[in-house]
Structure 1
Amino acid sequence: MTAPLRQRACDAPSTLAVPLGPEAVTRGWLSAVLGREIDALRLERVGVDEGFTGTRLYRAEMGAAGQVIVKLASEDAALRARFAAENAREVAFYHQFAAGLPVPGCFYAASDPVAGASVVVLEDLGGARAVPFVTGLDRKEALAAVRALAQAHAVHWDAGALAGLPGSAVADELGFADCWAGYEAALQELLPGAELSPELRTLGAALAGDAGAVLGPLLDAGPLTLRHGDAQADNLMFAADAALLLDWQFMARGRGGADLAYLLISSLRPETRRADEAALVESYLVALAARGIDYPRERLWQDYRRGAAVKLLMSVVATVGMDNRGPAKQAWRRADLARLVAFCADHGTDQGADYSAGERR
C-alpha cells in the first residue's frame, strides 16, 4: 500500500452510509473512504469461523492501490441490535483512543446507531502471524502480548477520557444476570457433560447478585486505564517479536491487572500459565515502569487474581448470547472454560482477599 494511504486515519466523510453487507463495499464507497480513486476491487471473506459477535472480515484487493481489511457488523439484525453499543464503541476507539497504541492503522470507522451496524477499514497486516486460540500462546508470544497490553495501558493511564467508558456497568449492559440464569442449560447444550467448578458457581452467583459490589473495586476505582476488554489470542497478531491488539468492541475502563488476567487466563494453556505466570506479571510491571508508571506489585497481584470475575462475565455472556455454532467455536468455548476453571483453582475467587505476590504459590 502506498505511503499517502497509510497516513489517513479515520478522517473520511461521516455522511457515507455504513454498509450492512459486502455488496455495499463498492469501488465508489472505498474511493470516498480512502480519498483516492480505486480502479479495481475484489473482496475476499477471511476469518469465517472466528467472530462470536457475528462480525465479518473482508480483504479488499484494490489493484495498484493495495489492499485493506474491511470489518462489518453481523448480517443478523438481532446480533447487531444486541451488540450495537459495542460496535459503536470500537468505532469510538479508533477515533479517540488508538493513537500511540500497538494496533493496525485505521483509515475509516463509522457506525449506524439505528441499524446497530458499524464498519472499520484497517491496514492489512499482510505477513503478520496469528495463533489459534485452542493452541494458545507460547512464552515468547505471551511476553509480546503482555508488553503490547502494557503499552496500551500506559498511554491511557488515569486519563480523563476514560470517564465516558463503562466500568462495572458493563455487567448490566451485557445482561449478565439473565445470562447467568440460563448459563448451565446453555453450557450443557453446547458442551454436554461440561461441569462448573465450585469456585465458578460461587463467583457467578456473586456477580449475578451484585455485580457492582464484585466489579466496582476493580473497574470503577482508580488508578484506571483503558481495558481492551477481550484481550485473548484471537485478537492478537504477531510480527517479529511484537504483538498488535485487534478488535476493540469491548473496550472499557478498569484496573490494568484485570486486563492482564483476562489475557493470560484466555490465551495460555494452564500448564504454560503456571510455568510463566510470575515472570509475565513481572514483565508487565517492568514495561509500565519503563513508561513512568508505578503499579505497586501487591496491588497488581490483587487486581490480577480478582480479574477472574471479568473473565467469567465475558465467558458466560459469550456462551449464552453469542454465535457458538460450529465445531471450531465449540472447541474454543471448551478450552476457554477449562482455562478459567484452572485459574480459579489456582488462585481462588475470594474477591475481598488482599492478595500479594507469591501467596497461594
Structure 2
Amino acid sequence: MADITTSPMPTWLDGSHISPEWMNKVANLGPCSSCSAVDISNETRKADVHAKDGATLRVIIHGKDTTAAQQKPLIIKQVPDQGLGLSKRLGLAREALFYHHFSYELPRESTPIIHYSYGDFAKGEKCIIMEDVQDAVDSGILFGPGNPNNWNRDLPALISQAGWNNHDSPAPSSREVALLTFREIAKIHAVFWRNDKELLLTPDKTWLRGQEWLQGKGKDSWEASQDLVRNLWIAYLEAEKKSNEPIIQWNDNVRKAVEKAVANISWEAQLKRLNVDGYYTLVHGDFWPGNVLWMTKESDRIKLLDWEMVGLGSGPQDLGQYVISNMDPVERKGCERELIEAYHRELNNQSIDVPFEYCWREYQVGGVERWLWFLVYFLGNGMAEWAYFFHNQISAFMADHKLTADDITQPRP
C-alpha cells in the first residue's frame, strides 16, 4: 500500500474503497470515515473488474455518522496504473494541471467545484476530485441524432428523463444551448486573452498544447502532430486506391481543401498565423456539446467539462469546432451570426477589444481547418461513417460561407 502521507494518487484499501485517511489529507471535505467508489467510465475507459482501475469514478464520502445527510457524492477522474503509458502519449494529465493552476481564475458559474487536482505530465499521473454535478444532462443530446456520439442513444427518452416534454416544458433548442455556451466560453477566453507573462507563457506551463509553438519553440512536437495527419492521409489514399473508388462520396470543394491543406503543412505558416504578437487565448481544444452540461433545474446555467486538450490558440476557432461538430446545418445557418455576435459582445463586456471581423473570420476558417485535421484522422483510421458525417458538416459550412481551398492554409492540430 502506498504511504498516505506522501502519495498524491488515491490510496486504495481494496478494489472499491479509498483510504479515508488519504481523502482527509488531500481534500477539505470534513471528517471522512469511509469512501466507496463505483466506476462510471465510458466503455473505452471502463475497468474490467475493480473500480480502482476505472478512469471516472463516482465516490460516496461517508461522514462520522451514517445518515444520508452525511454522504457526499463526488467524481474522481484519474489515470489508473495500466493507463499511464497512454496518458503520457496523449497528455491526459493536462486536465489536472489546468485545474491546479487555473481553477481559481475560471468563472464559478460554469466550472464544477474542484476539491483536489494533481497531475504529473512526465509520469502520466492524474487525479481530480470534483463535485458530482446534479440535475444536469450532456447538452449533446439537445442537438439531434446527427453526431455519431448520438447514433446509439435514445434521445427522446434521455430528454424526457431530464424533465422536458413537447408541451408545457419543451427542451431547449440547439440555438439556445449554443448561445449560452458561447457567452460562457467568451468569459473564459477573456480571462486569458493575450495573458502572456502573468499566466500562460511561463516555463512551468509547457504542458499547455501550443504554448511552445506560440513562442516559436517546440517545432519537433508540432511536426509530429502534422506528420500524423500526413501519414493518415496517405493511408486513406492507399485504401481508396485498393477499393478502386472513393470510400466516401466526396464534395469536390472539401476534397480540394483537404488536399491543399495536407500538401501545404508549414511551420512558417503556423508561426505567421499564431504568435505572441497576435490574438491568442486559452482554448478548450475539444469544444463540442458533449463536453458541456446543461443544468436542468436552473435557468441559463451550464458547466464546462473535460479540458484534456486545453491549450493556447484561437478563441473563435473553438466556436467553429463546436458548431461543425454537432449543429444541424440549417439551424446553424439561421443563428450563427447571432452566436458570434453574442460571443464578441461578451468579450467586449469583459474589456477585451478585438474586431468582430477577426472573430467572424476565425470562426469560419479556424473551424474548418481544425475539422480538416479530424476528418483526415477518421478517414485514415478507417472510420468511414464518422468521416462522412463530418465531411458533410464541413461541406455545408464551407458552402454557406463561400469558402474554397483558396481560403485554407493547413490543418490545425
TM-score in terms of structure 2 length: 0.68
Deviation at 1:76, TM superposition (A): 4.0
**2:27 corresponds to which residue?**
34
Once the two structures are superposed, what CA deviation does each residue of 1:109-161 show, in whole Å capped at 9, x if it has no partner?
11244542312111111112212367376111111111111111011111022
Q: Residue 291 of structure 2 contacts residue 305 of structure 2 at CA under 8 Å; is this kept in 1? A: yes
| Equivalent-residue separation in structure 2 for 1:214 and 1:197 (angstroms) | 26
Matched, 1:118 2:174: no
Change (3 A) 1:157 1:210: same
For residue 122 of structure 1, give the secondary structure of its aligned residue in structure 2.
strand
CA distance in 2, matches of 1:50, 1:196: 30
CA spacing shift, 1:24–1:316, aligned 2, 3 Å = farther
Superposed counterparts of 1:186-205, under 5 Å: 193-205=247-259
Q: 1:294 aligns with which of 349, 353, 358?
A: 353
Which stretch shows the higher mean deviation, 134-143 or 277-286? 134-143
Give me the whole-angstrom Cα distance separating, in 1, the residues matched to 2:322 and 2:257: 19
Q: Sequence identity of aligned pairs in percent?
A: 25
Deviation readout 1:193-226 (Å, 9 max, x if unpaired) = 4345444444444444424355444433522111
Q: Residue 157 of structure 2 corresponds to which residue in structure 1?
A: none
Alignment of 1:278-357 (within 5 A): 278-307=337-366, 308-317=368-377, 335-347=389-401, 348-350=403-405, 352=407
1:48 pairs with 2:42:
yes
Over 3 Å counting, the alpha-carbon distance change for 1:193 and 1:317 in structure 2 is closer
Q: Tell me which amino acid in the other structure corresponds to 1:62.
A: I
Contact 2:140 2:326 in 1 (8 A): no
**2:115 corresponds to which residue?**
107
Using the TM superposition, give the Cα deviation of residue 47 of structure 1 relative to its aligned residue in structure 2, in angstroms: 4.8
**Alpha-carbon spacing, 1:131–1:100, altered in 2? closer, same or farther (3 Å):** closer
1:110 is matched by which residue type in structure 2?
Y
- Structure 1 gap ranges (5+): 1-12, 325-329, 354-361
Partner of 1:176: 226
Distance 2:228 2:360 in 1: 30
Aligned with 1:266: secondary structure? helix
| CA distance 1:340–1:114, change in 2 (3 Å) | same
After TM superposition, the structure 1 stretch with the greater mean CA deviation from structure 2, 25-34 or 233-242, is: 25-34
Q: Which is worse superposed, 340-349 or 161-170?
A: 161-170
Contact between 1:235 and 1:246, CA under 8 Å: does it hold in 2? yes
Give CA-to-partner distance per residue, 1:157-177, whole Å, 9 cap, x none: 110223244435697276232
Structure 2 residue 285 is matched with structure 1 residue 237: no
Structure 2 CA distance for aligned equivalents of residues 203 and 180 of structure 1: 14
Q: Is the 8 A contact 1:158 1:223 kept in 2?
A: yes
Output the CA distance in 1 between the equivalents of 2:406 and 2:72. 50
Change (3 A) 1:113 1:351: same
Q: Secondary structure at 2:139's aligned position in 1?
A: coil
Larger deviation, residues 88-97 vs 218-227: 218-227
Aligned residue for 1:358? Answer: none
CA distance in 2, matches of 1:152, 1:230: 15
Deviations 1:244-277 (A, max 9, x none): 2111111111222211211222231222211111
Query: What's the TM-score once normalised by structure 1's chain length?
Result: 0.77
Indicate which of 82, 89, 94 corresponds to 2:94: 89
Q: Does 1:250 align with 2:309?
A: yes
Aligned to 2:78: 72
SS in 1 for 2:395: helix
CA distance in 2 between counterparts of 1:24 and 1:43 reads 5
Q: Which residue of 2 aligns with 1:155?
A: 191
2:65 maps to which residue? none
The residue that corresponds to 2:59 in the other structure is 60
Equivalent AA in structure 1 for residue 175 of structure 2: R
Cα 1:352/1:57, change in 2 over 3 Å: same
Aligned residue for 1:132, secondary structure, equals: helix
1:233 maps to a residue whose letter is: P
- SS of the residue 1:231 aligns to: coil
2:282 counterpart residue number: 226
Moved more, 288-297 or 107-116: 107-116
Secondary structure of the structure 2 residue equivalent to 1:59: strand
Q: Is residue 91–residue 111 contact of structure 1 (8 Å, CA) maintained in 2?
A: yes
Provide the C-alpha distance between the structure 2 equivalents of 1:14 and 1:181, rounded to a whole number of angstroms.
47
Kindly state the Cα deviation for residue 97 of structure 1 after the two structures are TM-superposed: 2.2
Q: Is the 8 A contact 1:56 1:71 kept in 2?
A: yes
- Residue 288 (structure 1) shift: 1.1
Amino acid at match of 2:116: Y
Quick one: structure 1 residues 279 and 341, their matched pair in 2 at CA, closer, same or farther if it must change by over 3 Å? Answer: same
- In structure 2, the residue corresponding to 1:253 is in which secondary structure? strand
Superposed CA RMSD: 3.7
